[in-house]
Chains A and B, each alone.
Chain A
Amino acid sequence: MGKNINIKKVMVIGSGPIVIGQAAEFDYAGVQACRALKEEGIKVVLVNSNPATIMTDENIADKVYIEPLEITMLEDIIQKERPDGLIASLGGQTGLNLAMELHKAGILEKYNLKLLGTNIDSINKAEDRELFKNLMKEINEPVPESEIVSNHKDALAFAEKIGFPIIIRPAFTLGGSGGGIAKNAEEYEQYVTTGLQQSPINQILVEKSIAGFKEVEYEVMRDSNDTCITICNMENIDPIGIHTGDSYVVAPSQTLTNNEYQMLRTSAIKIIRSLKIEGGCNVQFALDTTSNQYYVIEVNPRVSRSSALASKATGYPIAKVTTKIAIGYKLHEIQNAITKKTVAAFEPSLDYVVIKIPKWPFDKFANGDRILGTKMKATGEIMSIGRTFNSAFKKAVASLEEKVPSLALREEFEKLTYGELLDELSIQDDRRIFRVSEAIKRGIEPETICNITKIDFWFISKIKEIIDFGKSLACMELTKEKYIEAKEMGFLDCEISKLTGKSEEEFKAFNVEASFKIVDTCAAEFSAKTPYFYSTYNEECELSALKGNSNKKGSILVLGSGPIRIGQGIEFDYCSVHASWAITNNGYESVMINSNPETLSTDFDIADRLYFEPMHIENVMNVVKKENPIGVMVQFGGQTAINLASKLEERGVKILGTSLESINAVEDRKVFEKLLRELKIPQPKGRGVKSAAEALDATKELGYPVLVRPSYVIGGRGMQVVYNDEELLTYINEAFKFSTEHPVLIDQYLEGQEVELDAISDGKEVLIPGICEHIERAGVHSGDSMSIYPSRNISRKHEKTLVKYAKEIAKKTKIVGLMNIQFIIKDDVVYVIEVNPRASRTVPIMSKVTGIPMAKIAVNVILGKSLRSHGFGVGLYRKTNLVCVKMPIFSFQKLNRIDPALAPEMKSTGEVLGIDTNYKRALLKAFIAGGFKFGQRKQRVLVSLNDHYKKPALKIIKKMFAQGYFIMATWGTHKFLEKNGVPSKMIEKFMIDKLQKRMKEGRLSFVINTPTLGKNSQTAGFQIRTIAEMYCIPCFTSIDTARAYLSAVKTYDKKARLTADTVSNYRKRHFFDFLIKNK
């Protein structure tokens, strides 16, 4: 019994970049795993290509490799490290697939590397559709009628036999990418094609659709002694047909009788036993709404997004326990980390309700296809905890951080006629619950809504309770009792105010405060010391049981960053977690507020106290009232946290670090312009305008092209380059429709070299870990640019200017903590284009590649330590041998109708890092980590350039030709190339079908397409780009990216041998000195 003592060193594979379907949940799981292993004295070797993760920090694992996740690289690491065991079940589908590849390539065997936890055979059985289906037949568990096909003919035969609708699921893809529900032959043909294309093994499952069934999931655990437990079950509020990652989910199930609950639980356990899984596993079921008939839909033989949700929903650390099981422990030998009295072999009991709502990127991609199906589209999710379904649901909606925190009161649906609304109810998109709410408000019968939406009557009637209560608020006098009732149901003061016409100030007279309850895994049956809280009203507060006996200096609040979305990703969770740790190290109590279940910051043992609450000012203030903290740190939680700063200060809460005044000084256009003028720092000329007339006026002065954007943005939302009056007016009118509160900013557009740096300031001095230069010229959002550290093309003179400007700005604006500055160098002039008075996307990367723990130092200086006391000096930190290239990763394959062209608006969901001691190798590694394939036959390349980029592209097109590619060009580009002596084959833009066929068959190496202006989705360019994306053909929309790619191809062709090393080794400055010394 107990752990396997032969395991002394374990390799953990991470999940790579954040993409739709694979987000921060695997960082959370990976970190738990690393900590669980270290607890046992086991050395951890960690590999991940994602530099924004906490798991790739040197204090989490013993050896950290930030290298491409592919098997030659992994073999190199295995050879160097010789680990005894491999844990792959915590790295998502990526980790699992890599383990399978390592096995197939014989590497596991060659190095005697034991796959810990679930074995290869079991993974195979769960992942391979055919094997799985057979196993289910063997153990008598029902699966929907289906067939595995690998060609169109078989697919058609199945359709003839079964009839439509049919679900298409490609094998071995993330988040159901490439799949869908086909209602007719035409749709079927399309899904079959993309499905076959996207499946790495060219296999798809075609399956009888059971859309409309209830969807229920179970999180199950098993140990090597065959003890099985279920951690949690979850019911999708949306029926089968919408990917579970895109569904509203409630835990535990609400509409299942005990018999149904246990029937599915028994089935889940039977399945995990037959698969012999060791660790966590997720089983998805479809349950008929009018009989006991159920089907097993899917099994994930690993830790998943759902298990992260289940962990946060119950307090049961699934990843940690999975790790302990992998190294030999039995469930009853592992302590329950929450009660510290009982053991891990038990099933959590909840005395609250948990809701998950996905966060979709359609606020950014307004033209995207919002219809939800079997392909996941959400980038992140929020979770809420409430004592009742209603309060949890209301909190969940508030957690979405939308303009309106309510279920109803949404203008877009309020303006619909009754008939329109009724028609639109059947639309399954990201806004359906709000449409349902509006329908209820208009008096459409719940039964009618159920029939149309297939959402269970129970949920509809709960939403009705909320809506009806809202109505009653509007027409009844607001007594204290009524107010309490509203708070219990989850209504925010701002909503009550809007409904009753009374000011929020007046509610203070009622003297009603939120109280907090503990998440304890056991429904209060045992006492728990876990500092994991959620708010409730009109109930006893349990906070006092945990507070007051501390001898610390007081508490400090860290605001998290809410759900993962484009422009605000895992990097802010990285910063929040580090801030929290640093606060504790400084002798204070750290208090975390966040609403994101996927992240490490919401793990119950990160902060001294965790509040799982919406990032809404009222919820934050509820915590402030109870905690009475010394202050709040807002600079680590991205724009979500920064946006709360002024509201907090208005309410008398102290902002620690950079003051609100300073934040405003850089975020308020006018103040900032004046400030730069005073410092004599050049900036692109710009103006803030509040009307169309003002806008036209401004461009007369600035001249086209100009960059337009709303003020106060995340991820450059709504940012665009416009070239004439017409485009300008279209933009302005749209922007003011969205919000007239803030002005629209119009700037000169400078097409120069973009450079950025992160810095820490203690108010007196500034430490700049490094300077990064972007590969793409200005005009591409910094989050979507490839960037290089250390910079290669910036003269010493300019470097000095950059540092000087950084110091001056930090000092003048009194920055205390982190800041990020973006520059453009054009015609030998350094311009400052943006200053962010907070942690930026690049903080984790810079921390890792320079070895400077930026977030930690920022907290230290905020709390009064000097920069110099940290031993990294001040000014620009020295460079080392390390060179790295950051590459953005996009999730376009999951989102239809999104233009993949790079623009000032951010579109990427994640990033990878290529690290080496040589730029060319680092660049090649970045491309490999980004999923680009090398060493393939050089084929045709399609080039289609707009007029602006024809000339600048000439040199690289010549290079391509020289490297052996054959050029195909669209009409204008062809003419241009002809004129310049580059042979190319002309293709007409209307030959899209032919091109599509070529791409489908993989007879095209890549595409270079610089977009023409406007957001017209009908342009040929747009079609080419989206088709390329669909068939995974690289498509470069900036000639700079294409140039970098060709350079990587060249490096590859020269047979550069890529080797892996730890980040700290790359960083060793005196590498050569070291060699000499050891001679």
Chain B
Amino acid sequence: MLATLILEDGSVYKGEQFGACGTKIGEIVFNTSMTGYQEILTDPSYANQIIIMTYPEIGNYGINEEDFESYAPKCLGFVVKKNCKNDSHYKSKETLSNYLERNGVIGIEGIDTRSLVIKIREKGTMRCMLTTDEIKSESEIVEKIGEICTHNADKDVVLHVSPKEKYVVNEEGEIDLALIDYGCKSGIINSLAERGCKVTVYPASVSASEILDNGHKNLFLSNGPGDPADCEIELETIKNLIGKIPIFGICLGYQLLSIALGAKTYKLKYGHRGGNHPVINLQSGQVMVTSQNHGYAVDTESLSEIMRATYKNLNDDTMEGFDAERLKIFAVQFHPEAKPGPNDAAVIFDEWIKLMEEFHKNPVRKADDMANV
């Protein structure tokens, strides 16, 4: 069956359908990871997006039971050069195509993904429509472009991908940690649990008082989809917790923390999505290759005095991490849990766990620093 991808600038790509059928409108983004399509598909940060894989052969090792980052994909569509029909791996349970079909994700293959990526690189991230409906005329396309252009992003996307109830992972863990799940990858939770954390996972709508009342020793803010500036409820909670509990954040969690501390975020032209992003530790000068997935960045110029930049992306010099030591806040933009991507940054979890243990010994005093924010 034919599938059509229409961008808001009027570009049309025709290819073969695989996975689910239907019509979806969303933001089109590309990921340059050469492996890890299963992790990418199930990363909730891709909610409402249509993903292009730049690596052309996708689906080679099928879908297995271990590499999920959440229970189901949140993305809308999947764009590849070649979808593998005869996968080969001892762990594979089903083909990529089957999996997408079962989960309502539309796939399109056989299109010139590279030229599509160049278009996005030049023009920036766009909205698009992926449809398996037959398009009979030019006027239909014009109509559909109109539809794309009037489509509004879901401002509550975080609440939609966040769990409805709180739950606990690794009950026996010795380090107590509350984690607010904005669309958290299981890789993060697992990385923490593996290192001895008892992780209490809260919905994004949780209030500051609930967390404080439950006597948690540390707070962790997860990754998640969308524009951080839209997250009003979430920001409110964070602002009420700063200075009262050590806070660690990744990706959206990092962005929200920076906004809460007075910095500004802005939308990147086409985001960072892939497993090859070099990030330099501004203290040691050492470079790590990191896994990234974000469309927004924190403006280095807007940092408040209490914040210190800790990591920088070597590709475009954007800020990739900061801390506010007095407030015991530590956050990075990239993904130390990898999944997919290199494990270089896993050391950050080790560092943080060490800090958590320390803070546990010397708890945060009633913060008088808030006035400075």
Residues of chain A having any CB pair with chain B under 8 Å: 1, 225-230, 252-259, 261-262, 265-266, 269, 289-291, 330-332, 341-343, 345-353, 387-389, 456-458, 461, 464, 517, 522-527, 538-540, 542
User: Is there contact, CB below 8 Å, between B117 and A523?
Assistant: yes
Chain A residues whose C-beta falls within 8 Å of the C-beta of B229 in the assembled complex: none
- Name B251-293 residues within 8 Å CB distance of A: 274-278, 280, 284-289
* Chain B: minimal CB distance from A932 (Å): 48
User: Is there contact, CB below 8 Å, between B35 and A266?
Assistant: no
User: Is there contact, CB below 8 Å, between A351 and B55?
Assistant: yes
Q: Of A257, A347, A353, A538, which contacts B289 at CB under 8 A?
A: A347
Chain B residues whose C-beta falls within 8 Å of the C-beta of A343 in the assembled complex: 278, 314-315
User: Is there contact, CB below 8 Å, between A254 and B342?
Assistant: no
* Chain A: minimal CB distance from B150 (Å): 29
* Chain A: minimal CB distance from B299 (Å): 21
* Known A257-B61, A257-B64, A524-B121: A346·B88 in contact at CB below 8 Å: no
Q: Is B127 an interface residue (CB 8 A)?
A: no
What secondary structure prevails in chain B residues at the interface with A? loop
Q: Is B91 an interface residue (CB 8 A)?
A: yes
Chain B residues whose C-beta falls within 8 Å of the C-beta of A464 in the assembled complex: 86
* Known A389-B57, A539-B115: A257·B89 in contact at CB below 8 Å: yes
Q: Of A1, A254, A342, which contacts B314 at CB under 8 A?
A: A342
User: Nearest 3 pairs between A and B by C-beta?
Assistant: A258-B36, A458-B88, A523-B54
* Chain A: minimal CB distance from B208 (Å): 36
Q: Please, could you name 13 A-B residue pairs with CB atoms under 8 Å apart, sorted by A?
A: A228-B344, A229-B287, A252-B35, A257-B64, A258-B39, A261-B34, A346-B277, A349-B54, A352-B56, A389-B82, A458-B88, A523-B32, A523-B274
Chain A minimum-CB-distance residue to B113: A351
User: Is there contact, CB below 8 Å, between A524 and B314?
Assistant: no
Chain A residues whose C-beta falls within 8 Å of the C-beta of B203 in the assembled complex: none
11 new A-B contacts, CB < 8 A, other than A259-B67, A522-B276, are: A228-B344, A252-B35, A259-B66, A347-B342, A350-B55, A351-B56, A458-B86, A461-B88, A523-B114, A523-B117, A524-B54
* Known A262-B343, A351-B114: A255·B286 in contact at CB below 8 Å: no
Chain B residues whose C-beta falls within 8 Å of the C-beta of A350 in the assembled complex: 34, 55
Chain A residues whose C-beta falls within 8 Å of the C-beta of B280 in the assembled complex: 332, 345
Q: Is B170 an interface residue (CB 8 A)?
A: no
Q: Of A227, A261, A289, A332, which contacts B35 at CB under 8 A?
A: A261
CA distance A258 to B63 in the complex (A): 12
Chain A residues whose C-beta falls within 8 Å of the C-beta of B54 in the assembled complex: 349, 351, 523-525
* Known A332-B280, A388-B57, A525-B274: A255·B287 in contact at CB below 8 Å: no
* Chain B: minimal CB distance from A385 (Å): 11
Residues of B in contact, count (CB < 8 Å): 54
CA distance A343 to B114 in the complex (A): 22
* Known A332-B280, A345-B278, A540-B112: A256·B285 in contact at CB below 8 Å: no
Q: Is B338 an interface residue (CB 8 A)?
A: yes
* Chain A: minimal CB distance from B16 (Å): 11
CA distance A341 to B274 in the complex (A): 18
CA distance A457 to B314 in the complex (A): 39
CA distance A219 to B38 in the complex (A): 25
Q: Is B198 an interface residue (CB 8 A)?
A: no
- Name B19-71 residues within 8 Å CB distance of A: 30, 32-36, 38-39, 54-57, 60-61, 64, 66-67
Q: Is B340 an interface residue (CB 8 A)?
A: yes
- Encode contact with A along B84-98: 1 for CB under 8 Å, 0 otherwise: 101111110000000
CA distance A458 to B86 in the complex (A): 7
Q: Is B371 an interface residue (CB 8 A)?
A: no
User: Is there contact, CB below 8 Å, between B276 and A346?
Assistant: yes
Chain B residues whose C-beta falls within 8 Å of the C-beta of A461 in the assembled complex: 86, 88
Q: Is B224 an interface residue (CB 8 A)?
A: no
Q: Is B1 an interface residue (CB 8 A)?
A: no
Chain A minimum-CB-distance residue to B115: A540
* Chain A: minimal CB distance from B194 (Å): 14
Chain A residues whose C-beta falls within 8 Å of the C-beta of B57 in the assembled complex: 254, 353, 388-389
CA distance A258 to B115 in the complex (A): 25
User: Is there contact, CB below 8 Å, between B32 and A522?
Assistant: yes
The tally of CB-CB contacts under 8 A between chains A and B is 168
Chain B residues whose C-beta falls within 8 Å of the C-beta of A527 in the assembled complex: 121
User: Is there contact, CB below 8 Å, between A342 and B90?
Assistant: no
* Chain A: minimal CB distance from B112 (Å): 4
User: Is there contact, CB below 8 Å, between A290 and B90?
Assistant: yes
Chain A residues whose C-beta falls within 8 Å of the C-beta of B342 in the assembled complex: 230, 262, 265-266, 347
Chain B residues whose C-beta falls within 8 Å of the C-beta of A331 in the assembled complex: 287
CA distance A388 to B59 in the complex (A): 13
User: Is there contact, CB below 8 Å, between A387 and B314?
Assistant: no
CA distance A330 to B287 in the complex (A): 10
Chain A minimum-CB-distance residue to B66: A259
Chain A residues whose C-beta falls within 8 Å of the C-beta of B285 in the assembled complex: 1, 225, 330, 332
Chain B minimum-CB-distance residue to A515: B112
Chain A minimum-CB-distance residue to B270: A525
CA distance A259 to B37 in the complex (A): 11
CA distance A226 to B284 in the complex (A): 10
CA distance A697 to B340 in the complex (A): 73
Chain A residues whose C-beta falls within 8 Å of the C-beta of B340 in the assembled complex: 258, 262
User: Is there contact, CB below 8 Å, between B67 and A258?
Assistant: yes
CA distance A456 to B39 in the complex (A): 23
* Known A227-B287, A522-B32: A347·B276 in contact at CB below 8 Å: yes
Chain A residues whose C-beta falls within 8 Å of the C-beta of B38 in the assembled complex: 257-258
* Chain B: minimal CB distance from A233 (Å): 9
Chain A minimum-CB-distance residue to B284: A225
* Known A331-B287, A342-B315, A347-B289: A258·B35 in contact at CB below 8 Å: yes
User: Is there contact, CB below 8 Å, between B32 and A332?
Assistant: no
* Chain B: minimal CB distance from A230 (Å): 8
* Known A256-B35, A388-B57, A525-B32: A262·B88 in contact at CB below 8 Å: no
Chain A residues whose C-beta falls within 8 Å of the C-beta of B88 in the assembled complex: 255, 456-458, 461
- Name B324-352 residues within 8 Å CB distance of A: 338-344
User: Is there contact, CB below 8 Å, between B289 and A526?
Assistant: no
* Known A350-B55, A458-B87: A255·B338 in contact at CB below 8 Å: no
Chain B residues whose C-beta falls within 8 Å of the C-beta of A351 in the assembled complex: 32, 54-56, 81, 113-114, 117
User: Is there contact, CB below 8 Å, between A526 and B315?
Assistant: yes
Q: Of B66, B114, B276, B338, which contacts A262 at CB under 8 A?
A: B338
User: Is there contact, CB below 8 Å, between B114 and A539?
Assistant: yes
Chain A residues whose C-beta falls within 8 Å of the C-beta of B33 in the assembled complex: 258, 349
Chain B residues whose C-beta falls within 8 Å of the C-beta of A229 in the assembled complex: 278, 287, 289
CA distance A466 to B121 in the complex (A): 33
Chain B residues whose C-beta falls within 8 Å of the C-beta of A262 in the assembled complex: 35, 338, 340-343
* Chain B: minimal CB distance from A285 (Å): 15
Chain B residues whose C-beta falls within 8 Å of the C-beta of A523 in the assembled complex: 32, 54-55, 114, 117, 274
Chain B minimum-CB-distance residue to A228: B344
CA distance A746 to B57 in the complex (A): 53
Chain B residues whose C-beta falls within 8 Å of the C-beta of A269 in the assembled complex: 344
- Name B156-210 residues within 8 Å CB distance of A: none
CA distance A331 to B276 in the complex (A): 14
CA distance A230 to B89 in the complex (A): 24
* Known A227-B287, A349-B34, A522-B32: A332·B274 in contact at CB below 8 Å: no
* Chain A: minimal CB distance from B273 (Å): 9
Chain B residues whose C-beta falls within 8 Å of the C-beta of A458 in the assembled complex: 60-61, 84, 86-88
* Chain A: minimal CB distance from B40 (Å): 9
User: Is there contact, CB below 8 Å, between A225 and B115?
Assistant: no
Chain B residues whose C-beta falls within 8 Å of the C-beta of A253 in the assembled complex: 35
* Chain B: minimal CB distance from A293 (Å): 12
CA distance A1038 to B288 in the complex (A): 60
Chain A residues whose C-beta falls within 8 Å of the C-beta of B117 in the assembled complex: 351, 523-525
CA distance A262 to B337 in the complex (A): 12
CA distance A525 to B316 in the complex (A): 11
**Residue among B33, B57, B84, B274 with most chain A CB within 10 A:** B57
* Known A345-B278, A349-B34: A539·B112 in contact at CB below 8 Å: yes
* Known A348-B276, A457-B86: A517·B114 in contact at CB below 8 Å: yes
